Amino acid sequence: MSHKPQTHQAGASPRPAAARPQSPRTGDSSTAQSLPLWRQLQVAAAVVQAVRAGRSLTAELASVTPELRPGVQALTFQVMRQLGRAMALREKLANKAPPPAADALLCTALALSWQGDDAPYPVHTLVNQAVEAARQQRQTQPQSGFINGCLRRFLRERETLVAETDNDPQARWNHPRWWVTRVQDEYPEDWQKLLDMAQQPAPMSLRVDTRHHSVAEYQAQLLVIGLATQAVGASGLQLERAVPVHQLPGFAQGHVSVQDAAAQVAAPLLLQGREAGQAWRILDACAAPGGKTGHLLACYPNAQVLALDVDAERCQRIAENLQRLGAQNEARAEVRAADAAQPAQWWDGVAFDAILLDAPCTASGIVRRHPDVRWLRRPGDSAQLAQTQARLLKALWPLLSPGGRLLYCTCSVFRSEGEDTVQAFLQHNTDARMLPSPGHLIPGKIPTGLPVKHNALGEHDGFYYALLEKDRD
């Protein structure tokens, strides 16, 4: 029942500018440095075509050969962030869409080149190599002349064509029109900031396990190796630049984890104000990939945590994460593949003191990290997911002991998956009351209602939190 997309790289979106131009030449090589750009564009276009057909960018990138993956990943992230403009430009250049493979290659080239200053390669190089990519591939070779004509016209008339698409909300904001409208309606004062921030690569944030080091001590370790940071939240650090996790001191030993500052709110909020040393019995429903599970075990040293996920493969990821953190060695965590909405299949009848429900959602709050999300979602998805969220709340609430707490959260900025869902639940459950809660954490806005020890969250993702307590009577 998990919704959380897999991370592409240690918590940070790659920056397309990292893929600098090499001398294009034919023939493949075992190193990324010698791979011709036209080949990278071919593979990037195939990934874009798959996303437009409804498949996850994460899964598609995982299937790309290792020598191609870094360049293709950087290119496709930029394409996803500029796809709205690219599609609008393609419509200006050709009213009728070419076959899907050719259309994906054409849109890929337009997305990468329409902003000359931000293009990962010189625009003429991108155009020439995109045409070469079309010629070199069976699926697109018949349309290579069409692609060449469209891109040459784009080069000649770029300023005019871009100006003609400026009034299209999907082109201007690079989100589907329905998404733009919804954000405008729900955040009339902040909608532009929200959409603009979604275009920026997300920062890499860390959670320090303070059982090993204080935040200040670990910050000093990073500075020694040239990594500057700022403190975020209660035990977090935000890096000025993303790095592979193997460069982080003590990562393999579980001294630090990659986790967004907004996601770090969950564990300390769940039992805020209660004795951390109690032997709490905690359920982490929809737990994959296990970041919050590990944080729960770090915050509550005597707790017993049951971590559920409906996907057995994702449960393996939870187990691996807990193994790195040393949590499973302490025999305080059990990982089980099960549907949280079907307690009869897995619950032993013993009530939980606390439940963390990180519910399935549109992931609209983490679109910076997963820029394909905006193109995968459909207008009705939020309402459908709200029904799933309500079903989970209804199923799990009876499992909570009197006086126990349930923390409901989603990584969505849509109110139908946050405030609306919780208010509907409260109307139908008179034994539930809302405790002070952050509500919607919106990127770019100073959050309120956080646990007392939390500092500013930095450039955090979009989240929703509601802390519910069950009456003792």
Residues with a catalytic annotation lie at 411
* CA gyration radius, the chain: 24
Return the structure tokens found at 347: 């619950």
What is the DSSP track for 374-392? Answer: HHH--TTHHHHHHHHHHHH
Phi-psi region of 55 (alpha: psi -120 to 50; beta: other; left: phi over 0): beta
Q: Is 173 exposed, middle or buried (0-12, 13-18, 19+ CB in 10 A)?
A: buried
CA pair distance 120, 74, nearest whole angstrom: 9
CA–chain centroid gap for 278, Å, is 33
Q: If we measure between CA atoms, which residue out of 438, 260, 264, 462 comes closest to residue 363?
A: 462
For residues 229 and 208, the answer to whether their CB atoms sit within 8 Å is no
Neighbours of 416 (CB within 10 A): 18
For residues 276 and 451, the answer to whether their CB atoms sit within 8 Å is no
DSSP code of 287? -
